[in-house]
Amino acid sequence: MFTDAIWLASVTTVTLSELAAGTVCTLLCAVLASLARHANRGYWRFRFGWAAWLPIVARDVPVQAVQSWLYALMPRRRRAVFTVASLPAEDERTAAGRCATSTLSLATTPGTVVYDSDPRLGRLLLHRLGDRQGRLESAVQR
């Protein structure tokens, strides 16, 4: 429902068909998330504090969208790097949950692609625009 709320907040006018489509997609995602949780038998353990990443994601999406356009339109400004984000050492279930949540959060932003993740090693291989670490990347590593 959170994604549906963000979508509703970002549109200027809402038609009934768009609202229905957004609601159906949101409910479908909720069902798929529930099925995934059952498939891994509730293996992942999540921390409530990770919800603090949501405002950072919301802030980074438009900022990175502009950076992406600048990257495409201004060849001199092009700077993209591969980097490894090291996640904190945690018990196996929490590390798996952090890895999954970090991957989803980072992949939501347009300037970052998660190429690989390994919860056992506690790392994510990222490709990002710019050579500086962003706020979200810093947050998932704490």
Say if CB 85 and CB 141 are below 8 A apart: yes
Angle between helices 92-108 and 53-73 (to 10 degrees): 40
Round to whole Å and give the CA distance between 73 and 127.
Answer: 19
The token duo for 97 is 């949950």
> Per-residue pLDDT averaged across 7-34, rounded?
79
Structure tokens at 17: 């068909």
**pLDDT at residue 125 is higher than 90:** yes
Q: What is the CA radius of gyration of the chain?
A: 17
pLDDT score for 80: 83
Query: For the whole model, what pTM was predicted?
Result: 0.69
Among 79, 85, 86, 75, smallest CA distance to 131 is for 79
pLDDT for residue 7 is more than 80: no
pLDDT at 77: 65
- Does domain 52-140 fall under CATH 3.50.50? My reply is no
> Looking at residues 14-22, what average pLDDT do you find?
82
**In the predicted structure, residue 121 carries a pLDDT above the cut 70:** yes
Show me where the domains of the chain are located: 1-39, 52-140
With bands split at pLDDT 50, 70 and 90, how would you rate the model's confidence at 56?
A: very high
Instruction: Select, from the ranges 37-41, 67-71, 76-80, the one with the highest average predicted confidence (pLDDT).
Output: 67-71
